Amino acid sequence: MSQADLDTLISVIKNHRRILILTHEKPDGDAVGASFGLLRILRNADFKADVLMSDPVPAKYRPYSEECLTSAGPGFLADYDLAIALDCARYERISACGLDLRSLPLINLDHHRDNVVNAVYDLVDPAAAATSQLVFELGAKAFHVDALAATRLFLGLVTDTGSFRFSNTNARALRVAALMLEVGADHEAVINSAFFSKPRAQQQFEAALVQQCLSSAADGKYMYAVIPDELLAQYRFDMKDSETLIDLLREIEGSVIVGLIYHRSGGVKVSLRSKNEKYPVGPLAREFGGGGHQMAAGIGFTGKTFAEVEALLLEKITGLLNKA
């Protein structure tokens, strides 16, 4: 991947006027914040800009979004002269409604270490805590970031750092957060939406998950839960709203690596987190075709049962934790 710098991206953006913004499927807080934060920045600068997002925005993040495009028909891309993909580590994960984005110049702006989009213009910065942070840095350097845009971008930064609790929090992220607040980001609203607005049914589901599904290995250093479809149905819980679910396991004293195992899209999905940089989960995820960060990663398995995935991870993770 040949890396572009921020100045190059700014020049490219300024040389185009009709911009399509995209992010990954099943958007999380960073995807929502980055997409709609950039949308606000570009529209304030008199660009024609739209967000295309085929998957719905999770309910708790809807206050930080606005009306967007949800489908694309023949000739759709003729209305645009530049596409920007945000927070997408792989081209196939871009929620583009089946469009061939390579018919347009494509900017790939992301912070995932394993990014392999290989766009015309790639800026991948693993030292950034969130893609929303990169969007703010771009906007502050070349355009105007108002309070609404800053609030949306603050959402992305806060959720990807776990309210600045996770190991990706660094001095640069905190400086950018301070700048967001200085231009009017609504700290209270974001924190309440992201962390203090959980539906009662979700709380009941989480209690049942801990009571019924929790398993441990390696003397409690590996804590994981295999989530049966029946439990999801009982509490009508949608795993698209599961962004902070794994924190229930991460909060357990003595845990080092934690995991969730559940069905998604005809296969088995695994979410992994580590609390110790000596035991990163990113390499493990990449070994099985997954990806993410060193300390937070995911894997999608096809053709395997819950039991097979559980046994495979148990062997790999206990082996990792037992290394000196």
266 and 143 housed in the same domain: no
**DSSP 8-state secondary structure symbol assigned to residue 101:** G
270 and 165 housed in the same domain: no
Rounded Cα gap, residues 229 and 299, in angstroms = 18
Q: Which among 180, 195, 210 is the end of a domain?
A: 195
**Within 10 Å of residue 115's Cβ, how many Cβ atoms?**
24
Below-70 pLDDT ranges, the chain: 1-2, 324
Structural domain range at position 123: 6-195
On whether the pTM is more than 0.75, the answer is yes
pLDDT for res 264: 87
Rounded Cα gap, residues 322 and 324, in angstroms = 6
- Please list the alpha-helical segments (H only) found in 45-75: none
> Structure tokens of 273?
């987190």
- Whether 27 and 86 have beta carbons less than 8 Å apart is answered as no
27 and 153 housed in the same domain: yes
Q: Which among 195, 221, 253 is the end of a domain?
A: 195
pLDDT for res 305: 95
185 and 205 housed in the same domain: no
Strands 257-264 and 267-274: antiparallel
pLDDT for res 324: 54
Q: Assess if residue 1 is contained within a domain.
A: no
